Amino acid sequence: MSDLHTPNSRAYTHNACGNTTVVTDEHFTAICDPFRLVTGTFCVGCESHFPLKDFVWADTGEVIADARERWAREAPPAVRTLNSSLGCWLTLALGAAAGAAVGWFAVAQTGKAAGIGAAVGAVALPIVWLGFVVPAVTKSVYNWDPRHLK
Ligand SMILES: [Zn+2]
């Protein structure tokens, strides 16, 4: 599975109208990753968004919502753990603690700065974790790239 053969687009069909839409790049990566929150997608025929259960992959005929549930089930255990809500809560707590510590040391030990630091850390760390660290680790360590899933 080299990057040369990593797909970057896939077509899906909207059941209601029968039109096929090709999803590419960032949207493709998001819709392929069963651990990302994607509730709906776009139909070029209807020029609107609809739930994932209303679409099937054009090449396999599988409902996109069903395919994503299956991909999440079939992912390696370590990948599932990294993407679990526990991991998310942990990074939230760690981010808050780290942010509070930074705020504490950075600005003359006022409670306010620590609170702001905690808030920033609680938001920033999970974003970095889920947006960059987990995808990078699952790809490099477990060779798990959701764009290959079918
Ligand atoms: Zn449509």
Condensed to tens digits (0 to 9), the pLDDT of residues 46-56 reads: 999 999 999 99
> Residue 64 in contact with residue 12, Cβ under 8 Å?
yes
The domain ranges of the chain are 3-74, 77-145
Distance in Å, CA 144 to ligand 1 centroid: 31
Q: How far apart are CA 45 and CA 26, in angstroms?
A: 21
Per-residue b or e along 136-148, where b marks 16 or more CB atoms closer than 10 Å to that residue's CB: eebbeeeebbbbe
Condensed to tens digits (0 to 9), the pLDDT of residues 5-55 reads: 889 999 999 999 999 999 999 999 999 999 888 989 999 999 999 999 999
Distance in Å, CA 150 to ligand 1 centroid: 22
pLDDT at 131: 82
Condensed to tens digits (0 to 9), the pLDDT of residues 97-135 reads: 888 887 777 665 566 677 777 888 888 888 888 888 888
pLDDT at 108: 59
Q: How far apart are CA 48 and CA 139, in angstroms?
A: 32
CA dihedral (148, 51, 27, 124) positive or negative? negative
Distance in Å, CA 90 to ligand 1 centroid: 40
Distance in Å, CA 73 to ligand 1 centroid: 28
> Residue 71 in contact with residue 145, Cβ under 8 Å?
no
pLDDT at 2: 47
pLDDT at 107: 65
pLDDT at 111: 62
Distance in Å, CA 29 to ligand 1 centroid: 21
Distance in Å, CA 43 to ligand 1 centroid: 5
Ion ligand 1: residues, CB < 5 A: 14, 17, 19, 43, 45-46
User: Average pLDDT for residues 79-105, to the nearest whole number?
Assistant: 81
Distance in Å, CA 145 to ligand 1 centroid: 28
Identify each DSSP E strand in the chain by its residue range.
Answer: 9-14, 20-24, 40-43, 48-51, 55-57
pLDDT at 1: 45
Distance in Å, CA 23 to ligand 1 centroid: 14
